[in-house]
Structure 1
Amino acid sequence: MDGCYCHALVVKAMSRVLSGTRVMCFGEALIDMLSNKVNGDATTKHETFTQFAGGAPANVSVALAKLGGNSYFCGMLGRDAFGDFLQHSLLEYGVKTDYVLRTDKAKTALAFVSLDQQGERTFSFYRPPAADLCFSQNDFQAQWFEQTAIFHFCSNSLTESGIQEATQAGITLAKQHRALVSFDVNLRQNLWSQQGDPFGVIWSVMSGVDVLKVSREELEFLCAKQTQEQTIARLLHCGCQLILISDGCRPLQWITANMQGEIEPPQVSMVDATAAGDAFVGGLLFKLQEFFDRKGDLETLLSHASQLSDILRFACACGAHAASIYGAFPSLPSLSSLDALTREIHDDIT
């Protein structure tokens, strides 16, 4: 990646402050309990776990806020110490919590996370029951969407019927208010019951999605018995206007109805992939929000490959930043830390 170019992109972004359009990130906020063991080994005899605030849409909301975006998290937290910690953490990083609700019906979810030597993760979830699953379709208020330009969600808010109905209600309200709908599949099959059907449920919401982010493995899951070309054609037919296919440190593939291309992500030493994808999405939504604040729209953006490539390079740099630091919220970039990373990459190249 061209370090000088990325540095210039960050500096350009720093010159603007966003104040108008809102991004609403909906779904789970939970506690990541990160093990001190890597690949089964620990520097001490006993395994310990460190508490980090996490949850994919919560991570995205923090990524957006740390970059300077107008970020709102929407979801249900338990009325417990973990819920207090999550709400405080969101506020500490600049996320607006006007749309956060609390409940006594269930505790805040926990995810125990172990890492291998490459920084890849293994999750053990304590969910369900969990507070985030208690958010119902009636908890949404139409006025929340009046100034919302982007509604973002993940498949973890589709795992049970009640939260699935709530997510669909959010998509419907977003569409009614002409907001863009962003979907990061972020599939965690161990969160689905044996009776659950992630394939059918995920496909059932695609008709409301404008921007879709999938990993290479998630795209293969969505293919089932079809080829990738057939599946991508089906996604475009459903109404997805921008499809983003991530593949770790390998090139990001982007596809629209009329164009496609690849973006080479910056190479960093990965220590923890926990929030890398969420940082990528947060960077993407930050740049889309910025573009919309200048009275642009997605259709206009997708007609200019160079502008789209600029945005995706920025998002890739955000993902690389997160992969190089332990934890979720702490690993997400600000514009200044992203600038420092791109300078370091440039220095390594030269």
Structure 2
Amino acid sequence: MSLLAFGEALIDFLSNGGTPETFTKFPGGAPANVTVAYAKLGGKSQFCGMLGQDMFGDYLLTSLNEHNVDTQYCLQTSIAKTALAFVSLDANGERSFSFYRPPAADLLFHSTDFNIQAFTSNNLFHICSNSLTEEAIYETTMQGLSLAKTHRCLRSFDVNLRLNLWQAPQLAYERIWQCIRHCDILKLSREELDFLLSQMQHQQESEFIASCFSHGVSIIMISNGHLPVLYYTPTFCGESQIPNIEVIDTTAAGDAFVGAMLFQLNEYLNKNKILSQLINEEHELKSIMDFATLCGAIACTQKGAFPSLPSMEDHDNFRLKIMK
């Protein structure tokens, strides 16, 4: 195995934008999306989390398995239901969310539910901030990061902030920053960066980036809608252009990007290289970022999360198309 992602899998009910408005069921949840993105490109991934013993939990489990994601560390409970998210899209395909959570099954995964083999059999561990919103799941997530470090997994964190799930912005900032201090790879959007800076007495962006590096982060990636993705290492920075596309649904764009980036990173590591080498190899990292950015763009061209995540064939065909 190579990628273990921990956190929520949930149902995205996606609006048709009509009147009357109707919603269609899609499997989703950021960490789950990343495992599917990774698997559809040909990688081996595992999803770790808690689902409800209900029709939605069964549907998610089946959907993950159908996309070749290993779910042996995905548990189910009768105590709470699977989380739901109703997603409306504006004219540009941008989303607004209404969550039915808490309570939800994914919040009930405890640190004792982790299987050590999940960490010893993978070399990448990925999380998002939705598994930080409640005290118990926050402590579980931090335990996961600790286990990943102990077993020498590179730790990836996509902030993926949904403020309407939080009791207070300051709490979100504090817990997100704790995770940043324990990760190797950090992905955030421009809006998420602005939020963090606002909670830090308007610290400058350059100071924030330097602070991340001082705590051990090796790669920082900042997305900003249709604008280029910016990326930073302690030794250089760069940007990756987003191709012109017809945007249908941006729901899984960030997860497609992260899954593709981690897939390419693992391909790099399989060449008997290490992360400390990559942060000094500008051309190599540029290639990884361009690949991931293209995968993120492809995901915007159709509705839903799992269905929109590209395969390697999708990537290659799309790349040839835009090069013509």
Q: If the length of structure 1 is used for normalisation, what is the TM-score?
A: 0.90
Letter in 2 for 1:139: D
Match of 1:301 in 2: 278
Number of equivalenced pairs: 321
1:246 counterpart = 2:226: no
Match of 1:156 in 2: 130
Residues 83-135 of structure 1 show CA distances to partners (whole Å, capped at 9, x for unaligned) of 00000000001101011011011000000000000000010000000010000
CA distance change for structure 1 residues 301 and 49 in 2, over 3 Å: closer, same or farther? same
2: CA distance, partners of 1:308 / 1:265: 16
Contact kept in structure 1, 2:12 and 2:26, CA below 8 Å? yes
Residues 230-259 of structure 1 show CA distances to partners (whole Å, capped at 9, x for unaligned) of 111111111111000111111111111111
Shift of 1:46: 2.4
Match of 1:47 in 2: 21
CA distance change for structure 1 residues 255 and 158 in 2, over 3 Å: closer, same or farther? same
Shift of 1:340: 1.8
- Say which of 63, 66, 69 aligns to 1:89: 63
Contact kept in structure 2, 1:83 and 1:108, CA below 8 Å? yes
Residues 173-192 of structure 1 show CA distances to partners (whole Å, capped at 9, x for unaligned) of 00001110000000000011
Alignment of 1:1-350 (within 5 A): 21-37=1-17, 42=18, 45-194=19-168, 197-224=171-198, 225=201, 226-347=203-324
- Higher deviation after alignment, 289-298 or 124-133: 289-298
SS in 1 for 2:72: strand
Shift of 1:292: 1.6
2: CA distance, partners of 1:26 / 1:118: 30
Residues 187-209 of structure 1 show CA distances to partners (whole Å, capped at 9, x for unaligned) of 00001124871011111122211
2: CA distance, partners of 1:94 / 1:142: 22
2: CA distance, partners of 1:196 / 1:256: 27
Contact kept in structure 2, 1:159 and 1:196, CA below 8 Å? no
Letter in 1 for 2:109: F
SS in 2 for 1:101: strand
Contact kept in structure 2, 1:76 and 1:103, CA below 8 Å? yes
Residues 11-60 of structure 1 show CA distances to partners (whole Å, capped at 9, x for unaligned) of xxxxxxxxxx42001100000001111xxxx1xx4221100000000000
Shift of 1:296: 1.4
Contact kept in structure 1, 2:49 and 2:75, CA below 8 Å? yes
Structure of higher RCO (CA pairs closer than 8 Å, 6+ residues apart): 1
CA distance change for structure 1 residues 268 and 189 in 2, over 3 Å: closer, same or farther? same
Letter in 1 for 2:303: Y
Identical counterparts, % of pairs: 52
| Deviation >4 Å, runs of 4+ | none
1: CA distance, partners of 2:7 / 2:28: 11
Structure 1 portions without partners, runs of 5+: 1-20
